[in-house]
């Protein structure tokens, strides 16, 4: 975004955050030009462009007793933030270790909620969810307060400061890796600004995913 504003200072850019239903509605009523998302299926109404991949990790309150037996799986803040854990040097944590711990989930309509529940079930347990929240940043801070374990995007850590209150773990389940798409309304006129933004993101506007 900073690169785009520097290159095109005359173009006004607004950023909106919300749940996927609100954002999808904004896309379809033309109040949103482009949507960065992970959960809207391709179809007659939208065109999607693959933008990147992101990793979901665990943020566990440092005060939780379970951390003591999982020291060899713990990641440093910078390691988790920068994605340096993606190789084989960092081992995924055994998710079964958290079966008796409280969790903080995003609300049911959120893709991360569905993935989080699936990751737990694939590990053989039903998560004990203490809270359902709207925003992933809120879940990070609630986990930081010690209320429960949060599933977060590792990229979120680039927006926050390091803290001793949380410990981070790699998740080995395939559900922890997800595609990020840049999405627009199908059939809507693509402005020069929209095209320029996509190209700055190394996306070819003429090549949406089928």
Q: For the segment 26-74, what is each residue's pLDDT rounded down to a tens digit?
A: 999 999 999 988 878 777 799 999 998 899 999 999 999 999 999 999 9
Written as six digits, the tokens of 61 are 């309150």
In the structure, what pLDDT confidence band is assigned to residue 210 with cuts at 50, 70 and 90?
A: low
Distance from CA of residue 126 to its chain's centroid?
Answer: 22
In this structure, CATH architecture of domain 55-178: 3-Layer(aba) Sandwich (3.40)
Rounded to the nearest integer, the mean pLDDT of the chain is 92
pTM: 0.79
Q: Catalogue the E-assigned strands of 102-186.
A: 102-106, 128-133, 149-153, 166-169, 177-185
Please tell me if the domain spanning 1-52+179-201 has the same topology as the one spanning 55-178.
yes
Q: What is the CA radius of gyration of the chain?
A: 19
pLDDT of 9 higher than 90: no
Domain positions in the chain: 1-52+179-201, 55-178
Task: Please name the fold of domain 1-52+179-201.
Answer: D-Maltodextrin-Binding Protein; domain 2 (3.40.190)
Q: Find where tokens 């944590």 sit.
A: 93
């Amino acid at each position: 975004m900073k690169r785009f504003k520097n290159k095109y200072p005359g173009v006004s850019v607004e950023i909106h955050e919300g749940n996927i239903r609100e954002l999808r509605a904004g896309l379809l009523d033309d109040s949103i030009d482009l949507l960065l998302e992970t959960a809207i299926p391709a179809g007659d109404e939208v065109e999607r462009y693959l933008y990147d991949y992101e990793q979901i990790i665990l943020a566990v309150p440092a005060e939780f007793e379970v951390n003591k037996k999982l020291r060899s799986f713990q990641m440093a803040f910078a390691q988790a933030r920068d994605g340096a854990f993606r190789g084989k040097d960092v081992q995924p944590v055994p998710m079964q270790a958290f079966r008796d711990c409280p969790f903080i989930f995003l609300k049911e309509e959120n893709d991360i909620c569905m993935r989080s529940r699936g990751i737990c079930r694939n590990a053989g347990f039903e998560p004990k969810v203490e809270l359902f929240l709207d925003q992933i940043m809120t879940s990070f801070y609630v986990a930081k307060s010690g209320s429960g374990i949060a599933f977060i995007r590792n990229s979120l850590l680039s927006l926050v400061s390091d803290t001793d209150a949380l410990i981070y773990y790699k998740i080995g389940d395939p559900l922890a890796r997800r595609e990020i798409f840049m999405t627009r309304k199908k059939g809507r006129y693509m402005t020069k600004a929209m095209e320029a933004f996509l190209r700055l993101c190394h996306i070819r506007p003429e090549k949406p995913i089928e």
